[in-house]
Chain A
Amino acid sequence: MLQRNTLLAAAAACVLAAAPAVAQQPVEIQFWHAMGGALNDWVDDLAKGFNDSQKTYKVVAVNKGNYTEVMTGAIAAFRAGKAPHIIQVFEVGTATMMAAKGAVKPVYEVMAEAGITWDPKAYLPAVVGYYTTTDGKMLSMPLNSSSPIFYYNKDAFKKAGLPDKAPATWPEVRAAAKKLQAAGVPCGISTAWPSWVLLENFSAWHNLPFGTLENGFAGLGTEFQINSPAHVTHLERIAEMQKAKEFDYGGRRGDSQVKFTNAECGMYLQSSAGLSSILKTAKFDVGFGMMPYWPDLTKGPNGGPQNSILGGATLWVLGGKSKPEVKGVAEFFAYLSKPDVQAASHQRTGYLPITLAAYELTKKQGFYEKNPGFEIANQQMTLNPPTANSKGIRFGNLVQIRDIFEEEMEAVFAGKKTAKAALDTSVQRGNALLRQFERDNK
Chain B
Amino acid sequence: MRERVTYRSKVLPYLLVAPQIAVTIVFFLWPASQALYQSVQRQDPFGLRTRFVGLDNFVAIFEDPGYLHSLQVTAVFSICVATLALGLALLLAVAADRAVRGATTYKTLLIWPYAVAPAVAGVLWMFLFNPTIGSVSYALRTLGYGWNHLLDGTEAMVLVVLAATWKQISYNFIFFLAGLQAIPKSLIEAAAIDGAGPNRRFWTIVLPLLSPTAFFLLVVNVVYAFFDTFGIIHSVTSGGPARATEILVYKVFYDAFEALDLGGSAAQSVILMVIVIGLTVVQFRYVERRVHY
Contact = CB atoms under 8 A, between A and B. Distances in A.
Interface in A75-125: 75, 78-79, 96, 99-103
Contact of B260 (A96, A101, A264, A441): A96
Main secondary structure of the interface of B (DSSP, over half): loop
Given A250-B131, A258-B132, A414-B242, A75 B152 contact: no
A64 interface: no
Interface stretch (A7-15, A163-171, A285-293, A404-412): A404-412
A369 interface: no
B5 interface: no
A397 B133 contact: no
A103 B49 CA distance: 11
B241 interface: yes
B201 to A, nearest CB: 48
B46 interface: yes
A291 B160 CA distance: 36
A264 B132 contact: yes
A254 to B, nearest CB: 13
A81 to B, nearest CB: 11
19 contacts: A68-B257, A72-B258, A79-B47, A96-B45, A100-B44, A103-B48, A249-B151, A250-B131, A251-B241, A258-B130, A262-B133, A399-B258, A400-B255, A400-B261, A406-B240, A407-B240, A410-B241, A414-B151, A414-B241
Interface string A246-265: 00011110010011001010
Nearest to A99: B44
Contacts of B241: 251, 407, 410, 414
Contacts of B47: 78-79
Interface in B156-187: none
A71 B241 CA distance: 24
Contacts of B44: 99-100, 440-441
B277 interface: no
A413 interface: yes
Contact of B242 (A100, A258, A410): A410
Interface of A: 68, 71-72, 75, 78-79, 96, 99-103, 249-252, 255, 258-259, 262, 264, 397, 399-400, 403, 406-408, 410-411, 413-414, 416, 436, 439-441
Interface in B212-254: 238, 240-243
A72 B45 CA distance: 8
B113 interface: no
Contact of B150 (A78, A251, A262, A399): A251
Contact of B151 (A96, A102, A410): A410
A62 B73 CA distance: 38
B240 A72 contact: no
Contacts, number: 77
The 9 A-B residue pairs with the shortest CB-CB distance, nearest first, are: A251-B150, A407-B242, A400-B259, A103-B46, A410-B241, A410-B242, A100-B46, A258-B132, A79-B47
B133 A414 contact: no
Contacts of B45: 72, 75, 96, 100
B259 A399 contact: yes
Interface in B122-155: 130-133, 150-153
Interface in B255-269: 255, 257-261
Interface of B: 42, 44-49, 130-133, 150-153, 238, 240-243, 255, 257-261
A72 to B, nearest CB: 5
A250 B133 CA distance: 12
Interface-central residue, B42, B49, B132, by most chain A CB under 10 Å? B132
Given A250-B132, A410-B240, A440-B44, A75 B260 contact: yes
Contacts of A103: 46, 48
Contacts of B150: 249-251, 255
A397 B152 contact: no
A172 to B, nearest CB: 25
A413 B151 contact: yes
Contacts of A251: 150, 241
Given A251-B150, A407-B240, A407-B241, A72 B46 contact: no
A440 B45 CA distance: 10
Nearest to B146: A245
Given A68-B258, A102-B46, A102-B48, 12 more contacts: A68-B257, A75-B260, A78-B47, A103-B46, A262-B133, A264-B132, A397-B261, A399-B260, A407-B241, A414-B151, A440-B42, A440-B44
Contact of A252 (B240, B255, B259): B240
Contacts of A255: 150
A262 B46 CA distance: 43
A250 B44 CA distance: 34
A428 to B, nearest CB: 11
A408 B66 CA distance: 12
Contacts of B49: 440
A153 B49 CA distance: 52
A72 B48 contact: no
A103 B46 CA distance: 7
Contacts of A258: 130, 132-133
